[in-house]
Amino acid sequence: MRFATYEYDDRHRVAVVEEDGTLRPLPGVGSLTGLLAEGAGLTALLEAGTATLGVPAGPHVSEVRLLPPLQPPTVRDFVAFEEHVEGVRRSVDGAGGVPEAWYDAPTFYFTNPYAVTGAHDDVPVPPGSTVLDFELEVAAVVGRAGRDLTPEQAREHIVGYTVLNDWSARDLQSREMQVRLGPCKGKDTATTLGPYLVTADELEPYRDAEGFLRLALTASVNGEVVGEDLLSNMSWTFEEMVAYASRGTWVRPGDVLGSGTCGNGGCLAELWGVRGRRDPAPLRPGDTVTLTVEGLGSVSNTVVAGPEPVPLPAARRRSRERP
């Protein structure tokens, strides 16, 4: 099943999306996050979707504003594509190759759950940035709580998947990560999720012998394709990433785990690193980025001007006097 959260007539609703795009609202459900928080996993979500069969049809998806499918309590973003790491490291850090530590475990960072935006919403340029980039990813959504999971157990905790665009201010990112902490404001303004939450069972036909989902990924800017890859080129499965995320702690319903950016043009910075120049140019107001994932759909956002940064002083250089 495909689930959408949408705005129509100044109301927010959750619905099952039929094949023709008709929306069938879930009775008594105010948010997908709230439904998942009940913690019963995929079975309960499918049962909730089945309950819409006798419900009058709502509007067509083309008549509504699609909101993010859910408002996640946490967003972990991994970096699971080796080709992406190699290209972006050259572009952002000026270093070649892949750090040996990358191969040890599926590294991730926590990004801003308050920054999620809908599939067709405008995205403002982050304050103070002139080097805006997109990142084509797929995200898994947790449907049941768990900790210290094995990858086999983790599969039962993934309720579905959605497209993720991890918008990145490369100039801010490059500067602030020299402090060996971050990224922070380089990744803080917008994260697109959508257009739908597609339940995990829908993607089982795409699973290969190693457990990876073989989905075609395409990124385009202003209608021109700049990147294409396969999700199965990840170096860890989503189950392995969920298991790692749960090591020594909890994953809970509604948590979002991004795959990290795919290779072969999954973002502009990778292409800049490969080509040795900023080609294509950084995104600017008026540019439209469309990301398409087989089986999940497309998100398409237009960049708009953002606010000027509120001025702050540089750090005060203090003495090292002690009591």
In tens, the pLDDT along 1-30 reads: 999 999 999 999 999 999 999 999 999 898
Residues 214 and 169 in one domain: yes
In a domain, 310, yes or no: no
**Strand 136-142 and strand 256-258: pairing?**
antiparallel
Amino acid at 186: G
> Is there a single domain that holds both residue 61 and residue 83?
no
302: which strand partners?
Answer: 288
In terms of Cβ atoms closer than 10 Å to its own Cβ (0-12, 13-18, 19+), residue 10 is: exposed
Same domain, 270 and 180: yes
Q: What is the predicted pLDDT for the residue at 53? A: 87
What gap in Å lies between CA 32 and CA 5, rounded to an integer?
Answer: 7
239 three-class SS:
helix
Do 13 and 100 fall into the same domain? no
User: Does 309 fall in a domain?
Assistant: no
Residue 93 lies in a domain: yes
Query: Residue 195 in contact with residue 138, Cβ under 8 Å?
Result: no
Q: Are 144 and 170 members of one domain?
A: yes
Same domain, 82 and 217: yes
Angle in degrees, CA 180, 182, 187, rounded to 5? 145
CATH number of the domain that residue 197 is part of: 3.90.850.10
pLDDT in tens, 106-143: 999 999 999 999 999 999 999 999 999 999 999 999 99
28 residue type, one letter: G
- From first to last of its 323 residues, the chain has per-residue pLDDT tens of 999 999 999 999 999 999 999 999 999 898 999 999 987 899 999 999 999 988 899 999 999 999 999 999 999 999 999 999 998 888 776 777 899 999 999 999 999 999 999 999 999 999 999 999 999 999 999 999 999 999 999 999 999 999 999 999 999 998 998 998 889 999 999 999 999 999 999 999 999 999 999 999 999 999 999 999 999 999 999 999 999 999 999 999 999 999 999 999 999 999 999 899 999 999 999 999 999 999 999 999 999 999 999 999 999 999 999 99
- State residue 116's pLDDT score: 98
Residues 295 and 234 in one domain: yes
Contact indicator for 116, 191 with CB cutoff of 8 Å: yes
Residue 41 phi, psi dihedral angles, 5° rounding: 80, -160
Count the neighbouring beta carbons within 10 Å of the beta carbon of residue 212. 19
Do 90 and 41 share a domain, yes or no?
A: no
Say what the pTM is: 0.97
Do residues 82 and 63 share a domain?
Answer: no
Domain assignment of residue 241, given as a range: 75-304
- Has residue 137 been placed in a domain? yes
The amino acid occupying position 80 is A
Structural domains in the chain (count): 2
What is the distance between the alpha carbons of residues 299 and 165, in angstroms, rounded to a whole number? Answer: 8
Task: Kindly report the number of other CB atoms within 10 A of residue 77's CB atom.
Answer: 24
Whether 137 and 28 share a structural domain: no
Please report the pLDDT score of residue 96 as a whole number.
78
What residue type is 208 in one-letter code?
D
Question: How many angstroms separate the first and last alpha carbons of the chain?
Answer: 64
Residue 21 confidence (pLDDT): 98
